[in-house]
Structure formats: C-alpha cells, structure tokens
Amino acid sequence: MSNQALIIIDVQNDFCPGGALAVAGGDEIVAPINELQDWFPIRILTQDWHPADHQSFADNHEGAAPFSMIEASYGPQVLWPRHCVQGTNGAAFHSDLRVDADLIIRKGFRPEIDSYSAFFENDHETPTGLAGYLRERGVDSLVMVGLATDFCVRFSVVDAAKLGFDVTLVEDCCRAIDLDGSLAAAIEEMDGAGVRRVTMAAL
Ligand SMILES: [Zn+2]
C-alpha cells in the first residue's frame, strides 16, 4: 500500500462544535480518523491557516453578513465568520486528533485569496505543492476524509481526481456544512469527477 496516502482535511477546532465555523458533528470523525491512520504508511494533514486580514472573513468587509457572497478577482467567494486565524486555538488541530503525519500542508495564508482545496488556491491555478510532493513519493492513490464535505473536502477530492490520482472518499469520516444545497452539489461534482465514495467499513 506504499503508493497510497491518507489525506486528512482541516480537522481543526474552529470547524468542530464550539468553534467559530462549527460543522455539526465535526468532532465525531476524530476517533474513526485516528483508527484509519493506523492503516496508512503515508498520512498528510491540511490546516486552514489565515492571516487576521484575510478577505474571506465577513468582518473584514464593512456591513457584510457572514455566509453572504462577494465577487473576488478569481470568482464568487463565500464570506465566512472569522476562523482558523494563524496561531490561535481555533486554528489548532482537534486535541484528540493524532498528529504525527508525514506532512502538514497549510492553506489560505495569502490575505487576498482563499484556498479550499489542498491542491490549488481558489483561483484553481496557484498550486500548494501537494501534488508534487505526492508524485515524488510515488503516491498515485488517495483516501480522503475531513471537514467540510461540501467545501474543503469537495474541492480537494475533485482537484485530486482531475490531477489523475485515484481518489476514495470515506463519507462517514467527513461532515458537511450544507449551505444552500452545497452538499448535494458537492456529491454530484465528486461523482462526476470519478471519486469513489465509500464507508469506513467498506474500505
Ligand atoms: Zn478558511
């Protein structure tokens, strides 16, 4: 299984209950993800990692409501509650998550652009470097889990499939935000990209 890696997306305090951008049940996936980590020799964590002046924060836009949309230079952008600010407890991994991965890839650290995907920023062009890392290590198959199914997980798995990786999503090790039908749209897009969706028991 040396050509396979487990990618764990954004299991951080701000995305878990009690956090600034809490995903319902976000903490429920920590224990199963820890169990999954035993099965994979190559494990990679992603960490949403924003500067305080990040443009995806609603409170950086005069009068803008959280979860409203703006037109950014690279396309539509949701304005989020302030979350995962660099160095804060909210940006830290959930305290029960096993954190001994080979690589932690941080994203969203440029103020002017958001980065949902582990592979590209939201302009869909600027690479994070993860694809090159995986290829240099001979990885061609990815198993992906984390938060949130319909945003950072969605963009990461679809980009991975487009980049030519064989991609499996473990659905019960993910939780969704589901904003205006975003979960249904995510599933449709993932299926269209050829992503395999399974349960942990079926893996
Ligand atoms: Zn973010």
Domain boundaries, the chain: 4-51+93-202
- Look at residue 165 in the predicted model and tell me its pLDDT: 98
CATH number of the structural domain 4-51+93-202: 3.40.50.850
Among the listed residues 107, 114, 150, 174, the single catalytic one is 107
What's the CA-to-centroid distance between 108 and ligand 1, angstroms?
Answer: 6
Q: What is the pLDDT of residue 114?
A: 94
Per-residue pLDDT of the chain (203 residues; tens, 9 = 90+): 459 999 999 999 999 999 999 999 999 999 999 999 999 999 999 999 999 999 999 999 999 999 999 999 999 999 999 999 999 999 999 999 999 999 999 999 999 999 999 999 999 999 999 999 999 999 999 999 999 999 999 999 999 999 999 999 999 999 999 988 999 999 999 999 999 999 999 98
Which two three-digit tokens encode residue 102? 């080979």
Question: How far apart are the CA of 82 and the centre of ligand 1, in A?
Answer: 8
Amino acid at 7: I
109: which DSSP letter? -
Which pLDDT value is given to residue 2? 59
How far does residue 193's CA lie from ligand 1's centre (Å)?
A: 24
Task: Quote the pLDDT of residue 113.
Answer: 95
Whole-number Å distance, alpha carbon 107 to ligand 1 midpoint, is 8
C-alpha radius of gyration, the chain, whole number = 16
DSSP E strand stretches across 49-138:
69-72, 75-78, 103-107
pTM of the model: 0.96
Task: Give the contacts of 135 (CB within 8 A, at least 6 positions apart).
Answer: none
Residue 132 phi/psi, 5-degree rounding, is -65, -40
Instruction: Please give the single-letter amino acid code of residue 183.
Output: L
- Active-site residue flag, 10: yes
pLDDT of residue 83: 97
Rounded to 10°, the helix 154-162/182-192 angle is 10
* 3-state secondary structure at position 56: coil
The amino acid at 167? V
Choose the catalytic residue: 152, 159, 173, 174.
152
